[in-house]
Structure 1
Amino acid sequence: MEATLPAVAEELLKEIKKAFQETSHIPDALLLALKFVFGSSAVAALDLVDQHSVTRLVSPSGRAVYQVLGSSGKPYTCYASCHFCTCPAFAFSVLRKNDSLVCKHILAVYLSQATGACQELAVSDQQLASILLAEEEEEGLGTVC
Structure 2
Amino acid sequence: MASFLHDSIQAELLKHVKSAYQTSQTLPDDLLSALHFVYKAPLLQALDLVDNKSVTKLTCPAGRIAFQVLGSSGIPYICLPSSNFCSCQYYSFTVLKRSDVDLCKHALAVLLSCAMGSCQEQHVSNDRMAQTLTPGHLELGEEPPHHSHQP
Q: Residue type of the partner of 1:110?
A: L
Note the C-alpha offset of 1:63. 0.9
**Count of residues in correspondence between the two structures:** 136
Runs of 5+ unmatched residues, structure 1: 141-145
Distance in structure 1 (CA, Å) of the matches to 2:81 and 2:39: 16
Note the C-alpha offset of 1:56. 0.4
CA contact (8 A) 2:18 2:116 kept: yes
1:30 aligned residue: 31
2:146 aligned residue: none
If the length of structure 2 is used for normalisation, what is the TM-score? 0.85
**1:111 equivalent in alignment to 2:139:** no
2:15 aligned residue: 14
**Among the aligned pairs, what percent are the same residue?**
47
Distance in structure 2 (CA, Å) of the matches to 1:10 and 1:100: 17
If the length of structure 1 is used for normalisation, what is the TM-score? 0.88
Distance in structure 2 (CA, Å) of the matches to 1:87 and 1:123: 22
Distance in structure 2 (CA, Å) of the matches to 1:17 and 1:7: 15
* CA RMSD between the two structures: 1.6
Distance in structure 1 (CA, Å) of the matches to 2:22 and 2:110: 17
User: In the TM superposition, what are the counterparts of 1:33-48 in structure 2 within 5 Å?
Assistant: 33-48=34-49
Output one character per residue of 1:61-116: Cα deviation in whole Å (capped at 9) or x when no partner: 11110000011111110011111111110111111001101000000001101111
**1:98 equivalent in alignment to 2:99:** yes
